Chains A and B, each alone.
Chain A
Amino acid sequence: MATTPRSGGAGSGTAQRPNGTSQNKSCQFKLVLLGESAVGKSSLVLRFVKGQFHEYQESTIGAAFLTQTICIEDTVVKFEIWDTAGQERYHSLAPMYYRGAQAAIVVYDIQNQDSFQRAKTWVKELHKQASPNIVIALAGNKADLSNIRVVEFDEAKQYAEENGLLFMETSAKTGMNVNDIFLAIAKKLPKNDGANNQGGSIRPNGNETNRPTNNCCK
């Protein structure tokens, strides 16, 4: 579930966080990054989670998992981020990561038309096979290289609008729009009253288990 009221004895995932006031709601969302190889998926995550940028981010084998917590108004939002491998061959593992995800960022490289086409097929696949309510953002990365772009901003924006996606051009290198895109996703995700909102912590396994761990009632 997305919102675990602090006062209700939150599960393990949130227990250590300092804020403990009962007004604050806290939500946990599973987010997956998809997109062609070398468009900057891992770099976007690294910038968002650690504020760093590595020119030579190693290629992701399988997938990497990171978390980041942000605050919007009175809500603490924790993203559980699955950063996937981009090579076509790893495609068949992708459902494992986007199953049960509440949000996805589909990334392309603005210098690479193929990667934009690939992004579109990811969006199609998500629409067909991911959760019906999944919030999808399209990120045109490497925006610092916009002088040598081949994918026009307007073209991507129009595509995003037609398909109900959030859209931003980002640069993991300069940090441009990186926090913003995550924030925009967080705003769009439902975070309503305690008991009734959707499962925010559905793990890649698709089940919801580590809420009821210890601590809660001892």
Chain B
Amino acid sequence: MTDGDQREALVRRAEDEREEIVKRYELGLDPSNIVDPWENPTFEIYHITDKYGFMHDSRLPTTRDSQEMQLTKIELERDKKWMKMLAKWPPPQDKLHTRVYKGIPKAVRWPAWKKLLNVDQSIANNAGVYPRMLLLAKKYSTETRQIDADVNRQFRDNLAYRERYSIKQCSLFNVLNAYSIYNSELGYCQGMACVAGVLLLFMQEEEAFWALNTLITDQKYGMHGLFIEGFPKLTRFIDHHDRILSKIMRKLHKHFTKHNVDALLYAIKWFFVVFVERVPFSLSLRVWDIFLLDGDRVILAMAITILYLHKDELLRMKDMDAIIEYLQVKLHKNFGYSDDDAIHALERVMKKLKDLKLDVPPPAKSNEFPTRTLGDFVEADMEKKIGRRRNDYTDTEKQVITDVISRQEQNAIDVQSTVSYETSECATGDAYSMKTYQSITSLATSPANSSYSLYSNGYVVTTIENAHDHDPSRSQSIHNLTYLNSQPPQNSLPNGLQHMRHSFSSDSDSRNRLDLDQALEALQRQQLHLHVTPTSAAGHREPNQGIYIVQNGGRHMDQQQRDGASAIDDANDAEADDNDDALSVENTRL
């Protein structure tokens, strides 16, 4: 083509362009005139979408304040440093640590997360595996229906996932479906869609698959144990969370116990999806950065950090609704601290926990990791294939129920000590004693038996008023304890616990039985340390309206039990000391 020809072609193009534009104006509002959505001011989507692609209810500010400008400037500087660091991987640990805690800049999260999760290495070591899993999954996955249901509602307020069957939605489906075959023992558990969904915001499909696999199977993250049937890691982490709380935030722990705010109620989602949708997205990414670097202990520390930062607010709340609403909804919308401040607090909490040797939970049991070889294809059994629902609980599930219920029993006992304590302070009048009565009966097995279980552990509970009033409905919470097995009550334990022991004593799994016995013993030990209201407290009120808890000599309190109960003693000391003591982070300026 000569220069002349080229010029002529360019002129023709300019003419066509002009003609096209003029034609559009001539058509005006004629319906045949095609207008792209963005051309009209009603097109709001870009005004309400943040930098992560999430859409908000109203327009975001159009101008950036000086603080934000400053942050952008800092982030640009960090981009450069990170690019250099990524080119010379692995960097010195302390340098990496400092930079990750400052926050991985958005622009380099893709390569940085891939490095932290060893993604490229995994892909190289497993050439051809992902496509094979994908093919097998299309034919054999038994989880497809559930995955589809969840993909259809995961991050639908994010531009990447907004449109049905968009590229990212399809990738999310593929990754989860393929993974359900690759790790067939785990299959798919709700929560994984969120984890994979976050990864896919920063990675390509196959990368996200291997990143997910690392999070699930690597010892450092071990999410397998969270998602597998029976949730063994959840139980272990919740217990450790409680342990930390009872040691360093006693007041809050007591407050939660009093209002029945069991950690299981607020921490499942924290742990399963690493705080996504429970704190603002930008903050959850900062937590993810650190989680990817330092592993699962970060999750425990972040949980404590959240409670620490909001402790005063939470202590002011006087019922469970408010507390749960605050932790589930309010903090997601507005965390009340800048991301940097929250991360600084996290860093200090991590240090504090390390000093107190509380940063690492007890080691995982073997059931938290895959036992089958990953990628070995195992065809599902008929039940799974046809998606038939089970009517009965598996042994593992029974164990979960037992664990959960013994936790609750333990809480009930803790609460009991609080109640009796308060009774001595301020009990007057009908309504009050009635309420106290109610809480006692819920500990025992039925109103008629309310003195029974506590008696056998060294206490007599006598309710004078209403003791005759046997309303079967009142005993319902206790009734529920018996659902595993309806054996008649036996000695020395609250009936519900006795039932639990019964239901498992016929269990072939001896490990289950052992754990249960240990749990029950621990529980009995605790009961011996119930905070006792002295009888003299009755002086405050009408004798026939009150409730009395009388120690009958504590005949079960032998040396062995005392030895095992030092933690409880600590808790009792704490009760005497209204101010949380020096051990507490609360006195440490974070």
Are B439 and A212 within 8 A (Cβ)? yes
Query: A51 near B: Cβ within 8 Å?
Result: no
Are B190 and A8 within 8 A (Cβ)? no
Which residues of chain A in 94-133 are interfacial with respect to chain B, using CB atoms and an 8 Å cutoff?
95-96, 98-100, 102, 114, 117-118, 121, 124-125, 128-133
Closest approach, in angstroms, between the C-beta of B546 and any C-beta of chain A? 13
Q: How far is the CA of A96 from the CA of B416 in the complex (A)?
A: 19
Are B476 and A59 within 8 A (Cβ)? no
Knowing A205-B408, A206-B481, A209-B260 are in contact, say whether A90-B190 is a contact too (CB < 8 A). yes
* Set of chain B residues within 8 Å of A90, measured between Cβ atoms: 190
Which residues of chain A in 129-147 are interfacial with respect to chain B, using CB atoms and an 8 Å cutoff?
129-134
* Set of chain A residues within 8 Å of B415, measured between Cβ atoms: 205, 207, 209
Q: How far is the CA of A151 from the CA of B393 in the complex (A)?
A: 27
User: Nearest B residue to A11 by beta-carbon distance?
Assistant: B435
Are B397 and A206 within 8 A (Cβ)? no
Query: B517 near A: Cβ within 8 Å?
Result: no
* Set of chain A residues within 8 Å of B419, measured between Cβ atoms: 209, 212
Contact with A along B381-408 (1 / 0, CB 8 A): 0000001011101001110110011001
Q: How far is the CA of A213 from the CA of B408 in the complex (A)?
A: 19
* Set of chain A residues within 8 Å of B472, measured between Cβ atoms: 132-133
Q: How far is the CA of A199 from the CA of B133 in the complex (A)?
A: 52
Knowing A121-B391, A207-B408, A207-B412 are in contact, say whether A87-B146 is a contact too (CB < 8 A). yes
Knowing A37-B190, A209-B419 are in contact, say whether A91-B397 is a contact too (CB < 8 A). yes
30 A-B pairs with C-beta separation under 8 A: A13-B321, A59-B153, A60-B190, A61-B191, A61-B273, A62-B265, A62-B269, A65-B320, A87-B189, A90-B190, A92-B231, A92-B398, A95-B480, A121-B391, A133-B473, A199-B438, A202-B476, A203-B320, A205-B260, A205-B262, A205-B411, A206-B442, A206-B478, A207-B408, A207-B442, A212-B419, A213-B258, A213-B319, A217-B426, A217-B428
Are A85 and B156 within 8 A (Cβ)? no
Among candidates B190, B328, B397, residue contacting A64 with C-beta atoms closer than 8 Å: B328
Are A65 and B265 within 8 A (Cβ)? yes
* Set of chain A residues within 8 Å of B471, measured between Cβ atoms: 196-198
User: Nearest B residue to A125 by beta-carbon distance?
Assistant: B391
Closest approach, in angstroms, between the C-beta of A8 and any C-beta of chain B? 4
Query: A20 near B: Cβ within 8 Å?
Result: no
Query: A57 near B: Cβ within 8 Å?
Result: yes
Beyond A62-B269, A95-B405, A209-B259: 11 further Cβ-contacts under 8 Å? A1-B474, A63-B265, A64-B328, A88-B390, A92-B231, A92-B397, A92-B400, A93-B404, A99-B481, A197-B473, A205-B260
Q: How far is the CA of A218 from the CA of B422 in the complex (A)?
A: 11
Interface size on A, as a range, is 35 or more
Query: B203 near A: Cβ within 8 Å?
Result: no
Nearest first, the 10 A-B pairs at minimum CB distance are A62-B268, A129-B483, A198-B473, A56-B156, A8-B431, A131-B476, A92-B397, A12-B318, A100-B477, A206-B477
Which residues of chain B in 149-187 are interfacial with respect to chain A, using CB atoms and an 8 Å cutoff?
149-150, 152-154, 156-157
Among candidates B152, B272, B389, B443, residue contacting A88 with C-beta atoms closer than 8 Å: B389
Which residues of chain B in 458-516 are interfacial with respect to chain A, using CB atoms and an 8 Å cutoff?
466, 469, 471-474, 476-481, 483
Are A128 and B149 within 8 A (Cβ)? no
Are B190 and A85 within 8 A (Cβ)? yes
Total interface residues in chain B, CB < 8 Å: 84
Query: B230 near A: Cβ within 8 Å?
Result: yes
* Set of chain A residues within 8 Å of B190, measured between Cβ atoms: 37, 59-61, 85, 87, 89-90
Q: How far is the CA of A114 from the CA of B387 in the complex (A)?
A: 9
Contact with A along B402-440 (1 / 0, CB 8 A): 001100100110011011001100111111101110110
Are B426 and A205 within 8 A (Cβ)? no
Are A129 and B480 within 8 A (Cβ)? yes
* Set of chain A residues within 8 Å of B432, measured between Cβ atoms: 9, 212, 216-217
Query: A74 near B: Cβ within 8 Å?
Result: no
Are A58 and B442 within 8 A (Cβ)? no
Among candidates B230, B259, B325, B423, residue contacting A92 with C-beta atoms closer than 8 Å: B230
Query: A174 near B: Cβ within 8 Å?
Result: no
Are B318 and A124 within 8 A (Cβ)? no
Q: How far is the CA of A56 from the CA of B163 in the complex (A)?
A: 11
* Set of chain B residues within 8 Å of A218, measured between Cβ atoms: 426
Query: B193 near A: Cβ within 8 Å?
Result: yes
Q: How far is the CA of A215 from the CA of B476 in the complex (A)?
A: 27
Contact with A along B225-257 (1 / 0, CB 8 A): 001011100000000000000000000000000
* Set of chain B residues within 8 Å of A190, measured between Cβ atoms: 473
Query: A157 near B: Cβ within 8 Å?
Result: no
* Set of chain B residues within 8 Å of A121, measured between Cβ atoms: 389, 391
Closest approach, in angstroms, between the C-beta of A200 and any C-beta of chain B? 10
Are B230 and A208 within 8 A (Cβ)? no
Among candidates A5, A38, A67, residue contacting B149 with C-beta atoms closer than 8 Å: A38
Closest approach, in angstroms, between the C-beta of A209 and any C-beta of chain B? 4
Query: A214 near B: Cβ within 8 Å?
Result: yes
* Set of chain A residues within 8 Å of B481, measured between Cβ atoms: 99, 206
Knowing A95-B405, A196-B471, A218-B426 are in contact, say whether A204-B265 is a contact too (CB < 8 A). yes
Are A211 and B469 within 8 A (Cβ)? no
* Set of chain A residues within 8 Å of B436, measured between Cβ atoms: 212
Are A195 and B408 within 8 A (Cβ)? no
